[in-house]
Every structure is written in C-alpha cells, then in structure tokens.
C-alpha cells in the first residue's frame, strides 16, 4: 500500500466535481418528479378518453340501431306507397273505363249524381 498526498488544487477539483454531481442529482430528482406528475396527468386524461370513447361507442351503436329501424320503416312505407300508387292507377283506369262505357250507353257521370242524358 502506498500513500500519496494530494495537492490542495486536486482536492478542490474533487470537491467541485462532487458539488457539480450533487447539483445534477438534485436536478435529476426534480425533473423526475415533474415527469412523474406529467405522466400521472396524462394517465388520468387517457382514462377519461377511454371512458368517453366507451360512451361515444354506445351512443353510436344506439344511433346505428335507430338508423337501421328507420331504413326498415322506410322500406315498409315505400312498399305501402307503391301499393297505393298501383291501386290509384287501377282506380283511374276503372274510372276512365266507366266514363267511356257510360258515354256509349248515354249516361253522364257527374261527381254528385248519375243521370241519363236522353230522359
């Protein structure tokens, strides 16, 4: 084992290095606390976002179901209107036929009454 004597300048350099390292350690600890707080805040926001996403997904599912119901109802109404349009066309053809036939036999058809024109 050998003992060496350090010069006062070397001791001061060592002390400065220790002081610098202590300051850096303190800065690192402070930054770690700041980052931990920021991560906690972000974790809370992520949890809120996930909860909102579930709520929005449920609302979108409900709206999709209502849209499907509406589309089905629209098809039913379209079929009913098609049926009614066909019956109206049949009625118009029947009315035209009745007017033609009535004119041939001398009847005049009026919205209020039917009478013979030769009487």
pLDDT value for 119: 46
Q: What is the pTM of this model?
A: 0.44
The per-residue pLDDT for range 84-107, each reduced to its tens digit, is: 999 999 999 998 888 888 888 877
Task: Reply yes or no on whether the pLDDT at 3 is more than 70.
Answer: no
* Calpha distance 51→48 (Å, rounded): 5
The per-residue pLDDT for range 26-36, each reduced to its tens digit, is: 999 999 999 99
Q: Residue 109 in contact with residue 102, Cβ under 8 Å? A: yes
Q: Residue 117 in contact with residue 108, Cβ under 8 Å? A: yes
The per-residue pLDDT for range 60-90, each reduced to its tens digit, is: 999 999 999 999 999 999 999 999 999 999 9
Residue 107: beta bridge partners?
116
């Amino acid at each position: 084992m050998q003992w060496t004597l350090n010069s006062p300048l070397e001791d001061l350099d060592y002390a400065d290095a220790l002081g610098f390292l202590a300051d850096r350690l303190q800065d690192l600890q402070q930054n770690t606390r700041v980052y931990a707080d920021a991560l906690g805040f972000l974790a809370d926001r992520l949890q809120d976002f996930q909860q909102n996403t579930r709520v929005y997904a449920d609302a979108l599912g409900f709206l999709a179901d209502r849209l499907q119901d509406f589309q089905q109802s629209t098809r039913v109404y379209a079929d009913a209107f098609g049926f009614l349009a066909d019956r109206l066309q049949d009625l118009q053809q029947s009315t035209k036929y009745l007017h033609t036939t009535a004119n041939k036999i001398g009847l005049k058809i009026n919205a209020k009454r039917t009478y013979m024109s030769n009487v």
